[in-house]
Amino acid sequence: MPRISRMFRNPVIPEQETPAGARSVEDDFAGVDVHEAHDFFRRYYAENPDAPGSLHRRMVEVADELNRYGTYAHTEDELAFGARVAWRNSSRCIGRLYWKSLVVRDRRDVTDPYEVFSECVEHLRSATGGGKIRPTITIFAPPAPGRRGVRIRNDQMIRYAGYRAVDGSVIGDPAQVEFTRAVERFGWLGEGSAFDILPLVIDGPTGPPHVFEIPRDAILEVPIEHPQHAWFAELGLRWHAVPAISNMDLRIGGITYTAAPFNGWYLGTEIGSRNFGDAFRYDLLPGIARRLGLDTSTERTLWKDRALLELNVAVLHSFTMADVTITDHHTESERFLMHLEREEKAGRPVPGDWSWLVPPMSGSATGVFHRYYDTTEQTPAFVPRGAGCPVARQTEARRLAAEQGVCPITGHGPAA
């Protein structure tokens, strides 16, 4: 049995989550957007012409369920389609070429925190695949009239703790300091290393949050070494294999699934440039530059660039040698452009956020750098927690901008 830490009592929720002692109001059922439901089913039947029934018949069924229960339920096929299209619509994701391959685990019957935790562990085991990472999503019970939805409070299912010392320095991940403090207050105790796996914090529809320690054999980690520099192994670096996002809502046809953890596989720069390289994360560039013997006295020596390159070389090399799925930013950029071409041929818009699609190193050397993208939000979608329908949110923002005489894209007012 997985080791279970104590239950939260009088919960103090991390700052990035909800106020102390409270469940988010977004966890409550907020109704169903019928227009969004109609748009979803119109898309579903257009892209699945062999699906049973018809758009008219399905909307009649949805209307009947809404009148009787205040909500409606997707079929398994509708749920799977919606989840895959939500990935297809993810404007920040460069890996959408594989959207049809998403494995959808329907766990809408699961609400008990212990069972939710068990399914999260199974998700990690299945998605890891011994290193052959499988894009996977597990969808838990959504809110309904009189019932809150399931909630996972971690931003990713696997995160490393961050411990702030008296002198202000941090051991581990600085981005997780507040979350680490919160779970420590309620019984969890890490080893104090730079790579302690944080527990999962899960809410059921009722009662306080629960803290669960993830079994070690459910987490695959890769030690980081460099193909030319033996001293890299002395740094003791490692990173987990499965990036499983767990703090976003999944919107399908007007229904909000408040717990739908999902994963793809890592882009090398996510680990090397961002997790390891960012000054507000592990901040490894200065130390690596010193080990490389680089002149760090001035930015003009480009020591950061050279250290960043070797760090990313080490990450890609280590995952490759461990036979764990990973991709590089040049390959993935080309694949994303293939995805764009396919979708445009199918007559579908491709939402894109340039600032996320362009990799954090060698941006102009990749094809995704040299073009603009459609910024119109689409549904189904993964959205920030409690944000509601992205299309309605964007439409309202543009309406307000028009009333205020500002450009809806740039936010700038008229020239003086």
User: So which residues are the catalytic ones?
Assistant: 93, 96, 265, 270
Strands 326-327 and 266-267, how do they pair? parallel
- Dist CA 370 CA 363 (whole Å): 9
Q: In which residue are the tokens 């689409």 written?
A: 378
Query: Residue 164 is inside which H or E element, if any?
Result: strand 162-164
User: Would you tell me how many other CB atoms lie within 10 Å of the CB of residue 125?
Assistant: 16
Query: 407 φ, ψ to 5°?
Result: -65, 125
- Dist CA 278 CA 269 (whole Å): 11
**8 Å CB contact between 90 and 96:** yes
- Dist CA 266 CA 322 (whole Å): 14
- Dist CA 98 CA 339 (whole Å): 9
List C-alpha distances in Å: 105 to 80, 88, 119, 126, 218.
8, 18, 9, 10, 17
Closest CA to 283 of 194, 355, 353, 198: 194
Q: In which residue are the tokens 């002149």 written?
A: 295
